[in-house]
Structures are given as C-alpha cells and as structure tokens.
Amino acid sequence: MLCAVETSFDETGIALCDSAGLIRASLLSSQVELHAPYGGCVPELAARTHLSDLPQLWQHIEPELRAGIEHIGVTSGPGLPGCLLAGVNFCRGLAAHYGIALHGLNHLQGHIFSPFMGQGSEPGLSLSEIPFPHVALLVSGGHTELFLVRGVEEIELLGQTQDDAVGELLDKVSAMLGLGYPGGARLERLAREYPGMTELAEYSGQFELPVPMRSRKYGYNFSYSGLKTAVRKQIQERADHPALADNWQASLVAALFSSVVESLWFKLERAVEEYKVSLLTVSGGVAINGFIRAAFAERAGRMGVELRVPHPRHCLDNAEMMAWLLKLRLEAGIPAREFDARSNWVPGEPGWND
C-alpha cells in the first residue's frame, strides 16, 4: 500500500493506493470557502488549517489500511512554504512511527502524470504503457508550463509564463467582474451563455482581444498580464456606458477563453511538430475547462495526435495524483531520497531532480 499527502496550497489531501495504482482510500478537505472572503488564498491561514486537518483526515483511514502502508510520499514542492512544511513534518512523523520510507514528491510532476491515472476499478497506464517522449501542458492557478516528458524524472521545461498563470488570469478577471473566487468555473458558465461562442471556443462578437506571445521569437513562453490589462480596459469602458447590450460580460469572457485557447494551442502545435510526438497532455485546474478540452481534442485529432486529459476530479489539487506519481516512481526504481521542502521546485529547471 502506498500513501501520499498533499498540502502545497489550499487543499489538504491524503490518499492510499495499491501497487497497481488503484485508489483504496482518499480524503480531501478543500479550503476554498475559507479563503473566498479574502479573494484568494491566505498563506498563514492555509498552513494552520493543514496542521489541524491532517490528523483529523488521518483518523478516517481504516487501521487495517494504515498498517499495510509500505511507502509514504509527500508533496515537498513547489507550493507555499508554510503549507509544504505542514505536510512534510506530518509525514516525517508518520514515517518514523511506522518505520517506512518517505519520498519527497514534486507537485507539478503529480499534475504532469495525472492524465494516465485510472478511474474507479479501472487501472491506469503502467509506466511501460506511457508513450515517451510526450508534450505536457500544465495550466493551473499558479502554473502555466510546457514540458517535454521523456520519463518519470526526465522532464524538460520548454517554456513557462513570464507573469500571470492562466488560472490566475481567470481568477483576476472574475474579481474584476465581481464574480468571486475562484473564477475559472464561474467564467466558463458565463461564457456558455453567450450565443456567439461555440464549444470549440470560436468566438464571434464585438470584442477583439489580443492572442498573447504569438510570435516564434517568444519560443515556448507564455504571458497573460497584457491580456488581463486588455480585459480590464474593456470592463472600464463598459462601466462608462451602462446602456450597452446587457450580455457584454458573457461576450467579453467568451472572447477571453477564445484568446486563451488560441495562445495555448499555438505553443502546443509547435511543440508537437518540433518534437514529433504522438501524444500531448493537459493537466491542472484549468484543464477542467470544457472549451479547452473540446478545442484541443478537435485540433489534436486533425493533427493525428492523441490528447489525454485527467478526469476532472484529478485536475484540481488532490492527493490521489500524488499517490499515483509515487506508484510510477517506484515502478521506475527511483528510491526514497533525503529532501527538504522547496517552494520553487519546478521540473526541468537545472538540478530539479537532485
């Protein structure tokens, strides 16, 4: 039995899986409502809540399952320093108590391999079944990164956002429109109300938003602060003309999703061509988005490339994907190593897997 603990941001999770990766127990305590009144995650509050939630969640795991644990993995980065320490220290205690190996796990690596997880009683792909290399896009509240994945620990960072992450952009636009936090799902619902938006994110309407970083000179990097400013400008202009059509918010948000889809796909398509891969994956909280899923599936299909996305329950932060990562690492023969919490630990950056 493998156990993994996730506390890098605002979700406290503990999951147990067997050696085939089938989930045997899973507990998740979301802090989203706790932080909502502040318009974003408050680090100290998150860390304190992890400290009090972890022992409580642990108590919910049946003693027979706990007794069968052979390896423990804990997210040791990247994430908020206090939150990571809460999980790491809790797991150091467990590992000492049960006398078992403790593995430090990379949260982004957890997202990257989440598209290969199974569902219910259906097992996921074994390590030998995962096509390498493949291109992996990670889009979440804190991350927008493109990777070339050659193996469990052979991950090359192709590019990343130079400023805001896609989820962060969506959360900020949601705040500008007074729709609350987190914003991604609310904005998606709003954009779906706009009749000029198709499932494939083709927008026709009055707004023209830029598609950022659409030049080869930017390589595989992304940037979303300019798009955020363009949206803010449009919102300010509408505020000065309240008599305009009343579905302008839905139209603007639809235009925003269309621009986001274009900007992400531009890099994905290029990476698939340059590295001649037959598989691309999209993971992270923003990968729940229906426009992204539908548009990428259609475009990948046209290129003759497979697209894999995780089940929605494995897109937002969760411990199941970390347990799955631990399973893959053990399959690859990667041993437990000494580690410390590393809040800026990004796969593919020099020395990341030391």
Residues that bind Zn ion (CB under 5 A): 140, 317
Using the minimum distance from each CB to ligand KG4, give the nearer residue, 170 or 322.
170
Interacting partner of 53 out of ligand KG4, Zn ion, none (Cβ under 5 to 8 A depending on kind): none
- Residue 10 Cβ, how far from ligand KG4 at the closest point, in Å? 8
- Residue 169 Cβ, how far from ligand KG4 at the closest point, in Å? 8
Using CB under 6 A, list all residues that contact ligand KG4: 9, 140-143, 167, 170-171, 182-185, 188, 284-286, 288-289, 316-317
Interacting partner of 109 out of ligand KG4, Zn ion, none (Cβ under 5 to 8 A depending on kind): none
CA atoms lying within 13 Å on the CB side of residue 64:
1
- Residue 108 Cβ, how far from ligand KG4 at the closest point, in Å? 9
Using the minimum distance from each CB to Zn ion, give the nearer residue, 194 or 345.
345
- Residue 75 Cβ, how far from Zn ion at the closest point, in Å? 9
Interacting partner of 13 out of Zn ion, ligand KG4, none (Cβ under 5 to 8 A depending on kind): none
Interacting partner of 141 out of ligand KG4, Zn ion, none (Cβ under 5 to 8 A depending on kind): ligand KG4
Using the minimum distance from each CB to Zn ion, give the nearer residue, 130 or 287.
287
Interacting partner of 80 out of ligand KG4, Zn ion, none (Cβ under 5 to 8 A depending on kind): none
| Cα Rg, the chain, nearest whole Å | 21
- Residue 66 Cβ, how far from Zn ion at the closest point, in Å? 26
- Which residues, in sequence order, are bridge partners of residue 283? 138
DSSP class of 336: P
Using the minimum distance from each CB to ligand KG4, give the nearer residue, 151 or 180.
180
Interacting partner of 2 out of ligand KG4, Zn ion, none (Cβ under 5 to 8 A depending on kind): none
Burial of residue 241 (number of CB atoms within 10 Å: 0-12, 13-18, 19+): exposed
Q: What angle do CA 352, 343, 12 make, to 5 degrees?
A: 115
- Residue 189 Cβ, how far from ligand KG4 at the closest point, in Å? 8
Write phi, then psi, for 89 (nearest 5 degrees).
Answer: -65, -40
User: And the tokens for 260?
Assistant: 């986001």
DSSP three-state, residue 177? coil
Cα gap 21→29, rounded to integer Å: 21
DSSP three-state, residue 105? strand
Residue entry with tokens 């391999």: 113
User: And the tokens for 104?
Assistant: 């430090």
Q: Is the N-terminal amide bond of 182 cis, ω within 30° of 0?
A: yes
